[in-house]
Amino acid sequence: MANKFRNEMVVKVGDVEILLRPSFENCANLEAALGYGLPSLAFALAKQKLPTLTEVAKVIFFCQAEKKLTLEQIWDLMMVEGVASSTQVLIFIGQITAGDKTQVAPTDSELKKNP
């Protein structure tokens, strides 16, 4: 089950449901595999430049909560639905790069205590 407070999301690829978890390790590995950061990916989306299916497959592969599927297995599942399979992943990317608006900004005195 997805934990919305951790920006987790369940995506359905083919007939398989995959829990995506944007942990630090998962996102760092994804950025290394893509060759650029998640902010760059989100910026491209904002400019209406859709990611390739390979990039979408990498997002799913590297952000799997449980590493059950290989990149090739995810690719094969995506080929069943084609571009339609990327819609949920685009929402996931937007969700994890939007920031957390519920966090309270630290006060000046708190910032001075923790340089």
The reported pLDDT for the residue numbered 31 is 94
Residue extents of the structural domains in the chain: 4-113
Q: Is residue 8 within 8 Å of 19, Cβ to Cβ? A: yes
In the predicted model, is pLDDT for residue 43 greater than 90? no
Q: What integer is the mean pLDDT of 72-88?
A: 87
The two structure tokens encoding residue 89: 């992943």
Q: Flag whether pLDDT at 54 surpasses 60.
A: yes
C-beta neighbour count of 2 within 10 angstroms: 15
Spatial CA neighbour of 13 closest among 98, 89, 99 = 89
3-state secondary structure at position 79: helix
* 110 — pLDDT class (breaks 50, 70, 90): low
Confidence category of residue 75, pLDDT binned at 50, 70, 90: very high
Indicate if the pLDDT at residue 87 is higher than 70: yes
